[in-house]
Structure 1
Amino acid sequence: MTKLLGLLLLVTAVTAQIFFPGEEPGATEHEEPADTDLFAALGVTIRQNTNIVFGSNSCVTPSGESGTCQSFSSCREFLPMRNNLHRPSVLAFLRGRICRRFRRTVHLCCPSSTPGTIRPPTLPSRPPTSRPQTCGNVPLVNRVVGGIITQPGEWPWLAALGNMVGNTFSAGCAGTLITRRHVLSAGHCFAPGQVIPTMVRLGAFDLTRSSTSTPPQDFNIRDRRDGGYNTRTNEDDIIILIMDREASLNEYVQPACLPYKYRNENFLGDSLVVTGWGRTRFENARNSNVPMKALVPVKSTASCVADYRKLPASKRPAIDGRSLCAGDGSADACAGDSGGPLHYLDLLEGKYYVVGIVSFGVGCARPDYPGVYTRVTSFLDWIDRNTQ
């Protein structure tokens, strides 16, 4: 009898279900596909709640931010991760934010901070041609998604390239601040037969007026380092601009991270973020006054080549390992975004890395023609040589 009782106790202990704070036996939750996909990716062995939960919804993230315990699909800050659940770094990031577990889903601690509550660290003074030790440090909040307005200071390395027309700055292309004196952009922005930008504007949000207490910084383009852009094939669409003086770094002006650690990464299956002041629709004649951002899924080079093979041979661009294709028709870069950055989010570091430069496409957001970007990892050695 004693042995039987012991066996029953053992079975009970082994089969007992472990519940997270706020969960009751038999509790269920509305399940979106993203929620069940996350649960499957994380596995059923999740047992430890690493976040502090207060009451039914309030929680604290591992980094000490206040948040709300809610489903994966309802947290906008986590939307860019939906297509990246195959990455161990993404799963590790999300696993550390689990605050409640249901039968087939989990809730995550979704940060409730707003842009500006976390300030980038002040950068130490460095020679203008040195690769910055600190880069890409901006809050991971309110930055999801396709075709919506960004916030001031959200992309502090985003540069507007253009000219003064009377008392108004007119932007024609975009770029990325990579040192205090160098801006990375697209070679086609400086091809013959068009208005060539002569100025760089940093720290700008609304190009038509001052929208922050810190005014934008304007620079003349003193010199250029051409990557060898081919106007017929669109190859090597990259250029480095040298400004006439160093930029003053602040919360609205910071250098971007270059993807040295991702030299061998193709980003296939990832969703990347493109930003710029381009048209919100191809039919629009005017660019946006404020930066827009869009989430675009990466396509394979082979499928991209096949898509563009539908063009007449005389108009067919060269697409190879130096190119990065992204977009599915729901969002895309457009006219006016040329030269702007395409970003990969490193969740463990909390940083964005600039992995692409807006190069060309057919129209905007066409599902049959993904956007084509210059792959920055293919030019890292060239960038190093030309920023010395």
Structure 2
Amino acid sequence: MRRSARWGLALATLALATACVVAGRDADPADWPGIASMQSVSGRDFYHECGATMISQSWALTAAHCVETARIEGGRRAIQYVPDADGQLVRFGPMIVTIGAGDLRRVTKGTVFPVKGITVHPGYTRGHPERGNDLALLHIDGAWTGPVARLDGLTGSVDSFDPPYMELMVAGYGKTGEQATSQEAASRSGRHLTAPMMVLQQADLPKIGGEACKARIAELITQYGLQDDYAGVSVTPDTQICAGAGYADSCQGDSGGPLAQWGNGGAGPVQVGVVSWGLGCGRQDSPGVYMRVSAYAGWIARETGITPTVTPAAP
């Protein structure tokens, strides 16, 4: 996904998709249990960085590329670092998660928590979400008492991964287009918030088969002249899901957020994916790539202590 403008780096036209939902609609947070905004704080300024989902009282799931420059200081507080003009990382401020907000301008008591620990998947290659294993776990300081996301292969299961039995949806506070500008808001207390989108958005996405997605991504890499930067990059269906073929899509600021499936006997959504990367936002025949959470159910359970309630299905 793309970095926010705050990072002081020019956004390339062909950016990784880390932003807001393109061609989406306002979402009800009650339909997205555990939905969260991962933010960085500098003084009284708050910056939405990525999406996340609470998966237990103490743990949230997000994308590894969202936290790859963060550090744990004093053994108890996650601090975000950002590159300066020379590319050196400098301290920016603490990381927090705001949970269950339909509108980031309206935060209620008991929904904001500092992050005290970060666990990045050991197979992740820093700076390269396109190479897979793009997952991280956030350990919050406190206990979330609201609803949490059900994860496919761990605490939930899906009936089918093929049409017409399933419906995939993505949600987030990311940009509504590649050229969309961020929104800003200020409270009476002086709190200032910057986010690609203040109101939670959601969009329906068609699932793209693994082999078809691999072929399309390869075509796009060649079409955009990215063979050197993306040498050896492909899609691994066992650990990744492709969704979206233009128009509706995830974008900058949506990274780390949920891709979910409905249609499971009325039991509500099951999170099947985590927003990872893509070539542009909402481009014709350009699918987004999501980490397949069922492939990482064992790792998530080991790191968080969450007890599996289902047996992971074969990818």
Instruction: Output the TM-score relative to the length of structure 2.
Output: 0.69
Counterpart pick for 2:172 among 276, 287, 296: 276
Query: 1:217 and 1:359, CA in 2 relative to 1: closer, same or farther beyond 3 A?
Result: same
For residue 200 of structure 1, report the CA deviation from its aligned partner. 1.1
Matched, 1:333 2:210: no
Instruction: Output the TM-score relative to the length of structure 1.
Output: 0.57
Query: 1:224 and 1:152, CA in 2 relative to 1: closer, same or farther beyond 3 A?
Result: closer
For residue 259 of structure 1, report the CA deviation from its aligned partner. 1.2
Counterpart pick for 1:353 among 250, 270, 275: 270
Cα distance in 2 for residues equivalent to 1:197 and 1:378: 31
Aligned length: 237
The equivalent of 1:383 in structure 2 is 300
The equivalent of 1:255 in structure 2 is 148
The equivalent of 1:159 in structure 2 is 36
Which shows bigger deviation, 256-265 or 185-194? Answer: 256-265
1:173 maps to a residue whose letter is C
Matched, 1:215 2:109: yes
Structure having greater relative contact order (Cα 8 Å, sep ≥ 6): 2
Counterpart pick for 1:313 among 227, 240, 246: 227
Cα distance in 2 for residues equivalent to 1:266 and 1:349: 16
SS at match of 1:161: strand
The equivalent of 1:125 in structure 2 is none
Select the structure of larger CA radius of gyration.
1
1:354 maps to a residue whose letter is Q
The equivalent of 1:285 in structure 2 is 181
Cα distance in 2 for residues equivalent to 1:197 and 1:281: 28
Cα distance in 1 for residues equivalent to 2:199 and 2:282: 19
Task: Note the 1:1-388 alignment, pairs <5 A.
Answer: 147-192=24-69, 198-210=95-107, 214-215=108-109, 217-228=111-122, 229-230=124-125, 231-232=127-128, 233-249=130-146, 254-260=147-153, 262=157, 266-267=161-162, 270-286=166-182, 287-310=196-219, 311=221, 312-316=226-230, 317-320=233-236, 321-388=238-305
1:257 maps to a residue whose letter is R
For residue 156 of structure 1, report the CA deviation from its aligned partner. 3.3
More strand by share: 2
Cα distance in 1 for residues equivalent to 2:39 and 2:131: 21
Tell me if structure 1 keeps the 8 A contact 2:241–2:273: yes
SS at match of 2:213: helix
Cα distance in 1 for residues equivalent to 2:227 and 2:159: 31
How big is the alpha-carbon RMSD for the aligned residues of Structure 1 and Structure 2?
2.3
1:276 maps to a residue whose letter is G
Tell me if structure 1 keeps the 8 A contact 2:157–2:270: no
1:319 maps to a residue whose letter is V
- Gaps of at least 5 residues in structure 2 are 1-21, 70-81, 84-91, 183-195, 306-315
Tell me if structure 2 keeps the 8 A contact 1:224–1:242: yes
Cα distance in 2 for residues equivalent to 1:377 and 1:147: 26
Tell me if structure 1 keeps the 8 A contact 2:218–2:234: no
SS at match of 1:278: coil
1:369 maps to a residue whose letter is S
Tell me if structure 2 keeps the 8 A contact 1:173–1:189: yes
Query: 1:196 and 1:174, CA in 2 relative to 1: closer, same or farther beyond 3 A?
Result: farther
For residue 248 of structure 1, report the CA deviation from its aligned partner. 2.5
